[in-house]
Structures are given as C-alpha cells and as structure tokens.
C-alpha cells in the first residue's frame, strides 16, 4: 500500500466487509463527491479517492462482497450481500481496477472536507471512464476478481 498521511478504514454495518484506504492526502483535503444519480442519492453515497493512494477491500466470507451495476453499467458498486451497505465503486479494464470509497462507510468521516456535488449523468460512458482513470484509486486489492462479482 501507499505510504499514507492519513490511513482511513471502514466497512459495512454488519462487519463482513472492511476497507482500508491509504492516501497521501490529509482528510480535510478529501471532499466527498456526492453523485446525483438515483442509486447514489438513495444510498447516500459520496465518493473519495486519491490516484496516488491504495485501497484494500476484505470480506469474510468472500461471498459477502457483491456488485451491482446501474446506469451505463460500466462501473460496479461494491456492497455487502448481508447488510446492503455500499462500500466502494470500481471499474475494471483488462486486469486493472480503479475504485473510489464511499465516505459514508468510513469509521470516522468527520475529518473529511464538505461534500461537493457531482453529476456523472451528464457525461458519456467514455467521459466517465476517463474521469475515473484520472480521479480514482489505481492500486486496488479485492478478495475476489471483480469479474467474479
């Protein structure tokens, strides 16, 4: 993992999924992006990431981690199969994964900057992918292949 200024951890409500986000940024530099799509609005999701950071997602058992696709179906929302909490979102291309963490699943999100609105619905699928490659975490470890979710 990346040398972290502020390692952030969190997980789902039932504890089966845990996330560890190592970032080179101070928490106050991380402004959650509050997506205005129906799914994110209804789940209260707001995304943080650091392209120079790393993300490790652990699930016990591994089958607790599920994915859901919506909208353009390009990205996969990663959630707990038991309690339904969305912990991250990922995009896979070939053998590489980019991801962002749902700030709401962090154990302590109070130190983060205020949320800023994001409207990915205004972007084409290609523009979304380019944005993800620029903003999202590029060092991602999942307990199973993202294609198996």
The predicted structure's pLDDT at residue 144: 87
For the segment 30-45, the average pLDDT, to the nearest whole number, is 93
pLDDT tops 80 at residue 62? yes
The answer to whether the Cα torsion of 73, 78, 83, 85 is positive or negative is: negative
How sure is the predictor about 70, in pLDDT bands with cuts at 50, 70 and 90? confident
Question: In this model, does residue 108 exceed pLDDT 60?
Answer: yes
The reported pLDDT for the residue numbered 135 is 96
Domain regions of the chain by residue span:
8-144
CATH classification code of 8-144: 2.170.150.70
116: β partners: 33
Q: What is the pTM of this model?
A: 0.91
Q: What is the mean pLDDT of residues 3-31?
A: 91
């Amino acid at each position: 993992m990346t040398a972290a200024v502020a390692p952030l951890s969190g997980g789902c409500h039932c504890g089966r999924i845990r996330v560890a986000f190592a970032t080179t940024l101070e928490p106050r530099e991380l402004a959650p992006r509050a997506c205005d799509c129906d799914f994110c609005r209804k789940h209260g999701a707001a995304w943080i990431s650091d392209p120079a950071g790393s993300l490790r997602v652990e699930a016990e058992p591994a089958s607790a981690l599920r994915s859901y696709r919506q909208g353009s179906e390009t990205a996969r929302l990663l959630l707990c199969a038991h309690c339904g909490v969305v912990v991250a979102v990922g995009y896979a291309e070939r053998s590489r994964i980019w991801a962002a963490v749902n700030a709401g699943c962090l154990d302590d999100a109070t130190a983060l900057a205020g949320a800023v609105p994001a409207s990915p619905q205004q972007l084409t699928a290609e523009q979304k992918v380019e944005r993800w490659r620029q903003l999202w975490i590029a060092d991602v470890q999942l307990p199973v292949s993202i294609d198996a979710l």
